[in-house]
């Protein structure tokens, strides 16, 4: 349960003076992106080649959060004065302090919602107001964690949310919107003069199968999934969906599937209190 609704930002200027302001937490719907430095190249057939410039570790990963704040005139003025008007504030590393159980997970459920984070603070627009809520101002902000360091965070106990196994994480919730499988068949045709067609067939083993889905979970389960994905990275792992799900379509069957992430970017949306959506694209190996 969230215990407070404010986050505090501060920085120390060249004269050793501390500049501080506190604002309400952003509204739900903020997006966190984990950027792993992994390069993917499509190869002949069904496979992708990949190279992890992070050496298989999280040391070079980047985590960003884009969030919307709804602020009073006073708070909006304070924020803009600190990080947009003040010349020093525009180019400083800020500390962002969150109270215990704040409910605001800026960099993913696995990095917690409490403690002190070193961040860059970049406003994406001037505060704007409208009819609802009247006399309040909306501003979008991009937060980036500096030096990839985070406060200590102990995962709460996870509940059983469903019967979908994702890697080593069991009892995950089945995707609410199901799977969206696609296939690029390992065959092609060339049209020749006279209405003739020339075929090239590399066999069904060269058919490239992918699937897109949104994995929804509560914070404890989401934390474990993100920790697993940023550890396994571009290596293969397995998934097992419940009966009659066919995550890669009919031909792939409804058995344990060996898969690989097909993007180094993982996007998480904190949709509402304790509900996280992870957007994923997997390739069948």
Q: What is the mean pLDDT of each run of 10 residues along the chain (285 residues)?
A: 73 86 93 96 74 94 97 90 76 92 96 96 90 88 94 95 97 96 84 85 80 97 98 96 94 93 96 95 93
Q: Which residue has the tokens 């496979």?
A: 47
236: domain CATH number? Answer: 2.40.30
| Contact criterion met (CB below 8 Å) for 103 and 113 | yes
Signed CA dihedral, 224, 141, 116, 101: sign only: negative
Structure token digits, residue 284 = 């069948």
The DSSP element (H or E) to which 158 belongs, if any, is none
127 and 188 housed in the same domain: no
User: What confidence score (pLDDT) does residue 135 get?
Assistant: 87
Closest CA to 182 of 264, 251, 265: 251
Kindly list the distances between the CA atom of residue 126 and the CA atoms of 133, 139, 144, 228, in Å, as whole numbers in the listed order: 17, 6, 19, 38
User: How many domains does one find in the chain?
Assistant: 2
79 and 198 housed in the same domain: no
278 and 199 housed in the same domain: yes
27 and 89 housed in the same domain: yes
User: What confidence score (pLDDT) does residue 2 get?
Assistant: 44
Task: Spell 172-199 as b/e; 16+ CB within 10 A means b.
Answer: bbbbeeebebebeebeeeeeeeeeeeee
Kindly list the distances between the CA atom of residue 112 and the CA atoms of 63, 205, 224, 236, in Å, as whole numbers in the listed order: 13, 43, 12, 27
- Residue 192 is assigned to a structural domain of this protein: yes
Total residue count of the chain as it appears in this document:
285
Secondary structure (3-state) at 44: coil
Last residue of a domain, which of 145, 175, 204? 145
- Residue 33 is assigned to a structural domain of this protein: yes
| Contact criterion met (CB below 8 Å) for 234 and 52 | yes
User: What confidence score (pLDDT) does residue 1 get?
Assistant: 39
Closest CA to 234 of 198, 268, 266, 209: 266
Secondary structure (3-state) at 42: strand
Which range marks the domain in which residue 247 is found? 164-284
**Rounded to two decimals, what is the model's pTM?**
0.91
23 and 99 housed in the same domain: yes
196 and 116 housed in the same domain: no
135 and 212 housed in the same domain: no
Instruction: Measure the CA–CA gap between 251 and 181, rounded to whole angstroms.
Output: 11
């Amino acid at each position: 349960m969230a215990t407070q609704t404010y986050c505090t930002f501060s920085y120390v200027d060249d004269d050793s003076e501390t500049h501080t302001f506190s604002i309400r937490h952003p509204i739900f719907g903020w997006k966190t992106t984990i950027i792993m430095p992994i390069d993917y190249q499509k190869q002949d057939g069904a496979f992708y080649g990949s190279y992890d410039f992070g050496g298989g570790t999280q040391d070079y990963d980047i985590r960003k959060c884009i969030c919307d704040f709804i602020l009073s005139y006073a708070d909006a003025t304070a924020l803009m004065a600190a990080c947009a008007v003040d010349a020093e504030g525009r180019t400083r590393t800020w500390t962002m302090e969150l109270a215990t159980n704040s409910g605001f997970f800026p960099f993913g459920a696995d990095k917690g919602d409490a403690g002190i984070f070193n961040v860059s603070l970049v406003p994406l627009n001037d505060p704007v107001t409208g009819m609802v809520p009247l006399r309040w101002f909306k501003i979008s902000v991009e937060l980036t964690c500096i030096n990839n360091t985070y406060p200590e965070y102990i995962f709460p106990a996870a509940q059983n949310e469903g019967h979908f196994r994702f890697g080593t994480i069991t009892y995950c919730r089945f995707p609410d919107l199901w799977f969206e499988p696609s296939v690029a068949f390992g065959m092609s045709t060339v049209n020749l003069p006279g209405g003739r067609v020339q075929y090239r067939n590399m066999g069904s083993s060269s058919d490239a199968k992918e699937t897109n889905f949104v994995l929804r979970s509560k914070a404890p389960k989401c934390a474990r999934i993100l920790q697993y994905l940023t550890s396994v990275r571009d290596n293969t792992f397995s998934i097992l969906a419940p009966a009659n799900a066919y995550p890669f379509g009919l031909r792939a069957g409804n058995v344990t599937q060996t898969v690989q992430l097909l993007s180094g970017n993982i996007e998480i949306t904190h949709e509402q209190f304790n509900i996280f959506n992870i957007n994923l694209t997997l390739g069948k190996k």
